[in-house]
Structures are given as structure tokens and as C-alpha cells.
Amino acid sequence: MAYAGLRISEALNIQLTDFNLTVGELKVRGKGDKDRVVYLNDKIINSIREFLRVRVVDSSYLFANKNNGVIHRSTINKIFNKYSDKITPHTLRHYFCTTALEGGFSVHEVAYLAGHSNVQTTLLYLNPSRESMRSKINQL
């Protein structure tokens, strides 16, 4: 979620046939049944390869419960709550969008990668930092 901008439901519904680790692409079934392709960086590719090497379930889902089905989002939320009162699945998504925008991706590129149907949603992630604004004001 932090490196691909996925919603929790999108991450939990990833099936093994949805990604191609050779080319670094993931087909995501998004909100409103809108499919998109998300590009995976080397961190994600290496993590998935390692996870697949050690996982013990035999499921078509990347993240499966003990019955080889989809993990429920409440289970994931409980895990997040157990380890942090600040980090949630959505804050990881927020991190991705903010970092991608700060890193030079256009608003339209981030909107596509995050599955936003309206770029106005993506614009909410444009929160310039004090340091960024000071640096730019000094360039005037």
C-alpha cells in the first residue's frame, strides 16, 4: 500500500495471476470495478518473491486466510491497531500519493496510479512542506 498506493480492499483482493514480476506490473481491480495497471518498484518485486518463497498457504490470493480465502479488512485493521495507533492502511496510501507528488509525478499520473476517478481527489494530497515553500521562495 505504501509503495503502490493501493486501497486496503485492492491489496486484499490481489490474486497470483494479477501480477507479472518480470515486468513489474500489477493489475488492480479498483473501486467501482475499474481496472488499472500499477507499476511495482524493485522493493515490492523482491518482497513478493520472498513472500511467495516462504508462504505456506495454497491460495489464488496473494494474502490468504487460513481457509485460503480473502482476508477480511477488519483483520488487517486489528493488526495495524495492535502495532500502531498512528499508521493505518489509509495512511500508507496517503504516504504513497504525497511522496509520488513530491517526487515529481504529475497529478494525473498519481490519480491514475491511485485509482482516483477525479483529479480533485488527488489534489488533496498536495500539502507543501514549510521547507519546500522556503526553498522555492528563495529561488524567486
* Alpha carbon of residue 26 to chain centroid: 11
Query: Would residue 90 show up in a list of annotated catalytic residues for this protein?
Result: yes
Active-site residue, from 31, 43, 78, 108: 31
CB 5, CB 19: distance < 8 Å: no
Active-site residue, from 43, 49, 90, 136: 90
Active-site residue, from 3, 66, 95, 116: 116
Active-site residue, from 49, 93, 95, 130: 93
Query: Would residue 55 show up in a list of annotated catalytic residues for this protein?
Result: no
Active-site residue, from 125, 130, 134, 136: 125
Query: Would residue 93 show up in a list of annotated catalytic residues for this protein?
Result: yes
Sheet containing 35-39: give its strands across: 19-20, 25-29, 35-39
Query: Would residue 3 show up in a list of annotated catalytic residues for this protein?
Result: no
In 70-125, alpha helices (H):
73-83, 89-102, 107-114, 119-123
**Active-site residue set:** 7, 31, 90, 93, 116, 125
